[in-house]
Amino acid sequence: MTILETIEKDYDFTYPTLYKQLSKDGMLDWGVLGPEWFNNEFPHLRENPPLLLFANDFEIMEEDEITEGMQEGMLFADETHRFVPFGVTGAGDWYAFYYNLQDGNDVPVVLVYHDSNEAVVLAKNLQDFIFAQLLEAVTNPDPKYPGLIANGDMQENTRHFLRTHAPYITPHQQEIVAETYRKGSLTGEELQAILEAEINFEWLDSSFPYQISE
């Protein structure tokens, strides 16, 4: 039994099929995380980027971190909210599957803020979340803090980014990302228009409190 299967059994849920495929394909492996990650791991990962390597403010959670997160939960979280984390921001906020809003095979992805009583729905499923993150990676680039995608040859980075992630999004989504990367960047307004047209659903961008009420 794999660690992910053990987590499923222990907490009585089933990971999205796409997440399991990403794991099988090695896309959840960012190498050895830690202070020396950028120097030791990033140089050879950039040519075959694993899951959301070049995304804005996304860090993969290793399986032991997921296990720890499931055991401890988000601080003050009401246990009626079924979060299963798979990534974190630099500030420690969770990217998580939210099983309370599961609709068939679609398990929404939410951003759970650790220092405020708020979680925001980012996409109806993992596929749409990946699509959105591929676009956000080149939205309103900050010259002072350009992110990993601008480290070295940005055109080459975006080409590799799309190549390794194309199997996990639709052909139509691939076309949109490819055209965006040819263009070079998006404004926030352009990104919002694309997301509203392509991945809109009832709960998109909605937020809700998740902590225990006093």
CA atoms within a 13 Å half-sphere pointing along the CA-CB vector of 210: 26
- 69-95 pLDDT, tens per residue? 999 998 889 999 999 999 999 999 999
- 11-45 pLDDT, tens per residue? 999 999 999 999 999 999 999 999 999 999 999 99
Task: Provide the whole-model pTM.
Answer: 0.96
Q: Indicate the pLDDT class of residue 146, thresholds 50, 70 and 90.
A: confident
3-state SS track over 142-188: CCCCCCHHHCCCHHHHHHHHHHHHHHHCCHHHHHHHHHHHHHCCECH
Q: State the average pLDDT for the chain.
A: 96
